[in-house]
Amino acid sequence: MNLRLLALLIPLLTMPGVLADGLPDLGEASQSGFSPQTERRIGEAIMVDVRHDRSLVDDTELTDYLNNLGYRLVASSTENRQDFEFFVLRDNTLNAFALPGGFIGVHTGLILAAQSESELAAVLGHEIAHVTQHHLARIIAKQEQSTITSLAALAVAILAARSNPQVANAAMATAQATSIQTQLDFTREHEREADRIGIQTLTQAGFDPRAAVSFFERLQKSSRLYENNAPEYLRTHPITSDRIADLQNRLEDKPYRQVPDSLEFQLVRAKLRAEEGTPQQAIAHFEEALREKKYSSEAASRYGLAAALLRAKETARAEQELAQLRKITAPNAIIENLDALIKTASGPPSAALTQYQTALKSFPNHRALVYGYAEALLQNRNSSDALKLVGDRLRRFPNDGRLYELQAQGYAMQGKMLLSHQAQAEAYAHQGNLVAAIEQLQLGLKAGDSDFYQLSIAEARLKALRAEHAELTKKP
């Protein structure tokens, strides 16, 4: 998703019936202004569709790592009064992008291309600066006849174009698209401002600020090989020699410091690499790296090999590699979770359950372990323990949509259909899909398996969701 594609799709979205359902009608940007609240509402509307896109990486560990990294940077930013959400799209192109309201997406290709954690942090810091300085909002506010609703729908449609390049190519041929594309591009001043603030944030967060220069220089050199097919990040964030020189000047008086990568950075990159190509290709990649000692982290390479072996259903070999991995690294939640997944695949069920129980004692807040344990309990028809685990977690983390999904499964297993539909409704509501949440509560109220107290709670929640949906979709 990027601003150029955003512009290319404008002519398509002026056709009847193209605007996405459920997007808030927020009036004309030029008349109402573009407040932070408006930005957030647009971003949330877009994210409803992003969360249903097949390219969205549904990997808790990768998402948590990226959000931890992102919030480490946000905490060091001078403008950190808003919420952020970082997510990953499975795409081998080098791209990252910011949406209105603090939503920042990163392509898997960019994560794999980063040669250090500081390089990845440099890109996130730049995108965070675009958000905190409201660059996209300032561009949109200048459009005299652009409604915010149509711009939100426009961004939603980009996801469809990702899998249908002919659509984007057809739009590219129109003069209107070319004109609006120019208006929506980040300006040179925006890029310089994001560079300056991003470097400050990177330094304050304890990363190597020179990583921004090294990453941008490498991208610039590689772009010469692409000709007209440059990486998306170069097309939406043009990297010029002047920009690089400006960054170098800003860093000239800064002392050099070497910042080691976290093990988590190396592990999530190894996980992504283990999922590329066929399982045998992934196995061969890590075997060669270990044999030739061509790696930046032996632990990550052994983790990647074990993950690739699990993918190939070679669980015995995966267990052997995991045993080797444990000899060279300290206990780590991501490694413990892989162990549980291997035991789940190889059986017996009791081994996986024991592994989850043991791992959660050391890493009680690792979401992947919590979800995996709940799923294992449900697979073994132990809905009571699963519901207790999920219920305890929800009291601490009431906004975790995945926990509500697991709770819905547990209640359904016990035949408690109102409670099941009610939990699923909360899962949808936390995804921003209010229509689906309302439908679930309506189904639950028809189930006929609840008492007066439970019905009253469900009816009150249904009323609240309907009011929220009406507020979001009302005309100005």
Give the DSSP per-residue string, 334-345.
HHHHHHHHHHHH
Whole-number Å distance between alpha carbons of 29 and 146: 7
| Catalytic member of 59, 127, 208, 232 | 127
Helical spans, DSSP H, in 278-332? 279-292, 298-311, 315-328
Whole-number Å distance between alpha carbons of 183 and 90: 28
As given in the structure block, the two tokens for residue 291 are 């044999």
Give the DSSP per-residue string, 179-222.
HHHHHHSPPHHHHHHHHHHHHHHHHHTTS-THHHHHHHHHHHHH
471 catalytic per annotation: no
Nearest to 51 by CA among 427, 464, 475: 427
Please state the length of the chain. 476
195 catalytic per annotation: yes
| Catalytic member of 64, 191, 195, 208 | 195
Dihedral class, residue 295 (left if φ above 0, else alpha if ψ from -120 to 50, else beta): beta
Residue 348, SS3 per DSSP: coil
Residue 235, SS3 per DSSP: helix
Using an 8 Å Cβ cutoff, are 406 and 387 in contact? no
Whole-number Å distance between alpha carbons of 216 and 94: 12
Largest Cα–Cα distance in the chain? 72
DSSP type of residue 88? E
Neighbours of 387 (CB within 10 A): 23
Catalytic positions? 127, 195
